Structure formats: structure tokens, C-alpha cells
Chains A and B, each alone.
Chain A
Amino acid sequence: MKNSPLYKGSLTTIIMKLLEENGKMYGYEITQKVKKITKGELNITEGALYPALHKLEAEGLLDVEVAKVDNRMRKYYKLTESGKKETVNRLEELEEFIRNMQTLVNTKTNPDLQF
């Protein structure tokens, strides 16, 4: 992942947002969707994606459905009811974080406010 320390903390929120919009998705599909939306800027590796998906599944935020597709088994993920509620919370948190970071990055330091 590009700039991994900055994106790492948002990965589960990104996954949940995509599942909220797209219903059920499989792992590879999620990586390609992110790549497409960010025009190749954000490339989620398999090593980052699947641990995040399994963690969300273990927390009860994702449900799993397995189907046979093109000669192999494919695992689809979708949000549970508690996952849908948690997605709203996490997106609000992320939006607030982005607002605060934008304020911090854009603010010019006032010498009168220096400690």
C-alpha cells in the first residue's frame, strides 16, 4: 500500500464502506475496486487485505458466503446488521479525522499562540 502508515488505520473503514455500497464482494474484487476508484494510487496487497477481512469477520461485523465459481470456491463478504451500524460510526470518525487534519495542515502558526 502506498504511504502505508497513513492508510493502514483506515483499511477496515475502506472495506466496510465498499461493502456498504456494493453488497457482497470477494477479496480480489475489493482490491480492484479500490485501485479503480483511486486511479491506481492505492494498491491494497493480499497481505494487508485478508487479515483485515478476517478480523472484521471475527468481530461479527462481516458475514461470509462461499460459492463455487469458475472451478474453485470463492468466499464473499457482506456486512452484518451490526456491521452496517459500525460502518456509519467509523465513517463519521474518519470524516472528523480528515476535517481535523485538514485544519491542522492548512493553519498558519500564529506566534501569539506559541507555548
Chain B
Amino acid sequence: MRLTAAQIGFIDNYLKNSGINYIDIRYEMVDHIATDLENSIEGYEGTTIQDEDFQSHFKAYMAKNKEQFLTSNKQFAKTARIRAFKLILKNIVRPTSLLLTPLLFIILYKAIAMAGLETVKDILHITYTVLLIAVVLFDKFNYKTETEKFSVVDKMISGCLIAVYVVFVFIRPDKIISDPLWLSVYYTLFIAFITTGAITLLLLSAKYKKQYE
């Protein structure tokens, strides 16, 4: 017995309405539920099941298993955030990044020495703001709806935004550090993190879209 496209769509909508928003998590759950139902419902060998019978079996199945799927969903979302952070860190320590980071430090240190601290701060703040706006716009327009986002990509975006917000609004090292050397170190590390995050985000998003198209 095989479920019809409409019945598969019904399972997908049910999971969406139950708060399982990430498409990569939901696809796997839909497949698991559909396969389990196809293998357990008897009396329809070689045919499709009537919608009424399908819904009655589906209802019984979800009454037994829904809580498990919702718990899994929360766990997946948590794992996704950790995966996103690990991916950024993995890319920060790549040979290319390790070669470019000291170069960036030298450029920033020389820029502070030549143009002055306030000018460099202003340029960097404008750059961060533009980058952040780009990330927010990417998030808004890359997906048609909230329920078409990929878990790790979404957690990466929110993770980067949270990191920037915490650093800029709460910690504000540029107000605490006055030594140009340490300020250059701070700006270098921050730019490296945000830039790597943005590049990782674009590559990961492209990879997921290609995988699921």
C-alpha cells in the first residue's frame, strides 16, 4: 500500500501546524510516519487507502506517537544551533582563514595608527550594520514561508545576530579597551567570526537547497 500525494501533504500540514517548522526535520518525520503507516495498515495491498480510513489510522498513530515527535523536534532544534556554531568554528580554523586573520590584524592596526581610532570604529560599525542588514534580508527573502527554513541555517543566522547584539549592546569592548593593539585584536576576531559566519551561511544554504530540490 502506498499513500497518495494528498495524504503525504496532509501529514506534512499536520506536522507544520504542530510547530515542526524546519523543513529538513519535517521531511524526515513525514517519511518516517508515512513509511510506518504504509507498512502497518493491513487490507490495502497493492492499492491506495481511502482518505477516511487513512485519517482514522493517522489519528490513532499520532495519538500514540505525537509527543515523541514533538520532543524530537525540540532536540533537533537544539542540536542545530550547536552544529551551526561548530561549523563556523571549523571554518575559522581553515588554513585560508588562519592566513588571512593575521593579515587583517595588520591592516586594522595600521589603519588605527594612520586614520585614528574613531574613524576606524565608525567604518567598522557601518560595515557590521550593512552586513547585519544583508543577513536579515537574506533570512526574510530566501524562503517563501516560515515553514520552509532549514534548521542549521536558521540557527546560524539567529546565532550570529545574537552574538553581534550581545557584543555591541551589552559588552561593548570598544568602550572598555583603549589600547590600539588589543582593540585591533578584538576587531580582527570579531570580523573573522562574522565574515566566516556569513560565508558559511551562504554555502550551507546553497548546499541544503541543492540537497532538497
Q: How far is the CA of A27 from the CA of B3 in the complex (A)?
A: 18
Q: How far is the CA of A28 from the CA of B34 in the complex (A)?
A: 10
The reply to whether A54 and B8 contact each other, CB–CB distance below 8 Å, is: no
The count of chain B contact residues (Cβ–Cβ below 8 Å) is 30
Nearest CB of B to A22, in Å: 16
The reply to whether A73 and B79 contact each other, CB–CB distance below 8 Å, is: no
The reply to whether A73 and B82 contact each other, CB–CB distance below 8 Å, is: no
B212: contacting residue among A54, A55, A66, CB under 8 A: A66
Give the interface of B toward A (CB within 8 A).
Answer: 2-5, 8, 24, 27-32, 34-36, 38-39, 65, 68-69, 71-72, 75-76, 79, 82-83, 86, 211-212
Give the interface of A toward B (CB within 8 A).
Answer: 26-28, 32, 45-47, 50-51, 54-55, 58, 64-66, 69-75
Chain B binding surface, main DSSP class: helix
The reply to whether A71 and B8 contact each other, CB–CB distance below 8 Å, is: yes
- By a CB distance below 8 angstroms, the chain B residues around A26 are 31
The reply to whether A73 and B72 contact each other, CB–CB distance below 8 Å, is: no
Q: How far is the CA of A69 from the CA of B35 in the complex (A)?
A: 11
